[in-house]
Structure 1
């Protein structure tokens, strides 16, 4: 299976995302939104960086359980309670991404929201992946 990340020059060079991802063949995995919940369903992490790391880790755990790996993420949506706080920690969040996923980016969107299901949650990630057919 092949992934092609498409970043047209007329849209400008993306930073931390791809404009489009084409996955040729495979099975689609829908990944539920994940926050920084621990195994006891308690939000962990004092700040947005720690919560992003836990939320992304939870999403990757679900992906692994479905038989996938981080490189197979095609789309990710990040729901953010405090956009200014998130943007001020962009470098640290980017470092978390590179450590957990690598240097390839899926098609992504960051959406500001007034709150998430768990009032303590600062960020939630939800995505799609395409895995090879068995």
Structure 2
């Protein structure tokens, strides 16, 4: 078995500039994706007030970070969702599921949904982080 080497941070250009964090960290075969919000490449939150649009962009951003770190969405073993409005999440589950399946199809990793008071950008309604295992 070869040593894994030091952790490596990955910050794809397609995502907003990482300031004070990394979009992904690779350590051995494990990839941690830092919290992704529904922002465009400039860092601007898309569609303020629309949890479905923000979710779609956030899960897209997770997929970008996964690919940059050498993974595909199906390599994901854990997703954590932080939402500022649980009722809005519940009320839009069908549309959120459709957005999820655009990137993750029917691969359902372990997941946790947590309601929080707010996120770092006041316009953000959802943040998603992930853990994946790189294929051999």
- Superposition TM-score tier, normalisation by shorter sequence: 0.7 to 0.9
Work out whether 1:52 is the aligned partner of 2:55: yes
Which structure's relative contact order is higher, taking Cα pairs within 8 Å and 6+ residues apart?
A: 1
Work out whether 1:100 is the aligned partner of 2:84: no
Which ranges of structure 1 fall in alignment gaps of 5 or more residues?
Answer: 1-25
Q: How does 1:77-116 map to 2 (within 5 A)?
A: 77-116=80-119
Aligned partner of 1:16 in structure 2 is none
1:123 to 111, 123, 126: 126
Contact 2:75 2:135 in 1 (8 A): no
1:74 to 68, 72, 77: 77
Which ranges of structure 2 fall in alignment gaps of 5 or more residues?
Answer: 1-27
Paired residue secondary structure (1:33): strand
* Matched pairs, number: 108
2:75 and 2:116 map into 1 onto residues whose CA distance is 27
Aligned partner of 2:19 in structure 1 is none
- RMSD (Å), alpha carbons: 1.1
The TM-score with structure 2 as length reference comes to: 0.77
2:107 and 2:44 map into 1 onto residues whose CA distance is 30
Paired residue secondary structure (1:129): strand
Aligned partner of 2:12 in structure 1 is none
Paired residue secondary structure (1:43): coil
Aligned partner of 2:67 in structure 1 is 64
The TM-score with structure 1 as length reference comes to: 0.78
The runs of at least 4 aligned residues of structure 1 exceeding 3 Å deviation read none
